[in-house]
């Protein structure tokens, strides 16, 4: 008899989330947003909204202990959650750190990971208010919860985009995926290119300042951070806003390091840029009437540039305009933990 039991790899991460997200809100008072955005949003309390996000990093899935310095692992564990707060336009406040630790691991490694966690907290004035510490049979697990705040009415969800909105990114994309290929020895690159790309993967930065500027400007219609890849995360905006999107390949911000590494390894840099994960840039939609003002704010005050890469459409799915002006309907192939 054939085994018809379904495995997680049959339904995938997003199939699983869809299967459990019904009937999750039983007390709707003060719930602005539950499952399905970068953070949950609860409130208002004294005119403020609470933002809550949680991320789990599993050894040999999200990181390989020998391939990332422990301090950088600690920094990254917090920064990826701060990126979720940034994507709502919020301010991060309090951090909870849960660790499941192999008994035989050197305490020094755990303390160094914790140093990385604390250095990010110090740099961003965050409190560590708790967590959980337990043993693990073999692999290290890091689960981080961050609670932040945003002013009422200033939170940016994934669901606000409208046809005609411009699409903006807060930085280059693809470097992290290129760095991962180097770490996994699936590609090579000379120094200092290799170090820069690996650094992009191991030490992602958050865009809390940029996110807050976007949120408080009132000029944007939606925002998300790029964790699974541009196409995959843009697809979340499209799905939740009931819109399509158009991307201009020639406008995608890619680094010289990525181009060099991709060409010398016969890889497509734009494939890495569009489908590679863990860039943690903000992807922002801005109504056409606000685009000039939005660009001006970033040109004048912001801590990072923004790049206009396309627009929201009334169509279905994502259309890619290649450099030679050919058009292609994109099949979204972002990262899914379970898919074969």
List the interface residues with a copy of itself, window 120-179 (CB under 8 A): 121-122, 125-139, 141, 143, 145, 147
State how far the Cα of 340 lies from the Cα of 230, in Å rounded to an integer. Answer: 20
Choose the stretch contacting a copy of itself; rule: CB under 8 A; options: 3-11, 151-159, 248-256, 275-283: 3-11
Q: Which of 2, 5, 327, 331 binds a copy of itself (CB under 8 A)?
A: 5
| Binding residues for a copy of itself restricted to 33-62, rule: CB under 8 A | 33-35, 39-40, 42, 45-46, 48, 50, 52-56, 58-62
Radius of gyration of the chain (CA): 20
54 known ligand binder: yes
User: Is residue 149 annotated as involved in ligand binding?
Assistant: no
Say whether the peptide bond before residue 59 is cis (omega within 30 degrees of 0). no
Footprint (CB under 8 A) of a copy of itself, residues 60-79: 60-62
By CB under 8 A, which span of 18-26, 238-246, 295-303, 315-323 interacts with a copy of itself?
A: 18-26
Q: Least distance from C-beta 155 to a copy of itself, angstroms?
A: 14
Q: Write out the two tokens for 280.
A: 């943690």
Sign for the CA dihedral angle at 42, 44, 50, 51 comes to: positive
* DSSP reduced 3-state for 252: coil
CB-neighbour burial class of residue 120 (10 A; exposed 0-12, middle 13-18, buried 19+): buried
CA torsion 73-75-79-80 (nearest 10°) is 10
Closest-CA residue to 62 (of 283, 257, 335, 339): 335
Considering only residues 87-126, where is the footprint of a copy of itself by CB under 8 A?
93-94, 96, 98-108, 110-111, 114, 118, 121-122, 125-126
Of the two residues 18 and 242, which places its CB atom closer to a copy of itself in the complex? 18
Strand pairing class (31-33; 40-45): antiparallel
The one among 1, 2, 7, 266 contacting a copy of itself by CB under 8 A: 7
User: Is the CB of 111 or the CB of 242 nearer to a copy of itself?
Assistant: 111
132 among annotated binding-site residues: yes
Closer of 65 and 308 to a copy of itself (Cβ):
65
Residue 201 φ/ψ, nearest 5 degrees: -80, -45
Say if CB 320 and CB 268 are below 8 A apart: no
Is 62 among the annotated ligand-binding positions?
yes
Residue among 228, 178, 209, 212 nearest 55 (CA)? 228
Q: Which is nearer to a copy of itself, 7 or 327 (CB)?
A: 7
Pick out the residues of the known binding site for Mg(2+): 38, 53-55, 84, 132, 225, 228
Pick out the residues of the known binding site: 38, 53-55, 62, 84, 114, 131-132, 158, 225, 227-228, 278, 335
């Amino acid at each position: 008899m054939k085994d018809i039991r379904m495995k997680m790899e049959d339904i995938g991460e997003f199939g699983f989330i869809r299967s459990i997200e019904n009937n999750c809100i039983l007390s709707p008072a003060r719930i602005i947003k539950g499952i399905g955005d970068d953070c949950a949003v609860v409130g208002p309390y004294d005119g403020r909204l609470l933002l809550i996000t949680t991320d789990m990093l599993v050894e040999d899935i999200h990181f390989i202990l020998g391939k990332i310095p422990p301090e950088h692992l600690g920094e990254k564990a917090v920064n990826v959650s701060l990126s979720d707060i940034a994507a709502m336009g919020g301010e991060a406040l309090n951090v909870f750190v849960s660790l499941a630790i192999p008994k035989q691991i050197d305490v020094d490694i755990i303390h160094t990971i914790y140093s990385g966690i604390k250095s990010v907290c110090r740099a961003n004035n965050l409190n560590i208010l708790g967590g959980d510490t337990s043993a693990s049979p073999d692999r290290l697990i890091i689960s981080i919860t961050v609670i932040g705040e945003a002013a009422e009415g200033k939170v940016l969800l994934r669901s606000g985009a409208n046809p005609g909105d411009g699409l903006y990114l807060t930085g280059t994309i693809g470097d992290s995926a290129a760095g991962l290929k180097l770490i996994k020895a699936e590609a090579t690159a000379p120094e200092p290119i290799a170090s820069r790309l690996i650094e992009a993967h191991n030490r992602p930065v958050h865009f809390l300042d940029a996110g807050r500027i976007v949120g408080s400007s009132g000029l944007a219609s939606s925002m998300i951070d790029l964790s699974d890849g541009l196409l995959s995360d843009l697809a979340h905006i499209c799905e939740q806003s009931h819109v399509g999107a158009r991307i201009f390949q020639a406008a995608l911000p890619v680094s010289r390091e990525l181009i060099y590494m991709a060409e010398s390894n016969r890889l497509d840099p734009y494939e890495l840029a569009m489908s590679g994960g863990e860039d943690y840039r903000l992807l922002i939609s801005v109504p056409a009437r606000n685009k000039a003002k939005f660009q001006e704010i970033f040109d004048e005050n912001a801590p990072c540039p923004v790049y206009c890469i396309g627009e929201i459409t009334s169509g279905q799915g994502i259309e890619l305009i290649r450099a030679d002006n050919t058009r292609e309907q994109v099949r979204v192939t972002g990262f899914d933990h379970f898919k074969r």
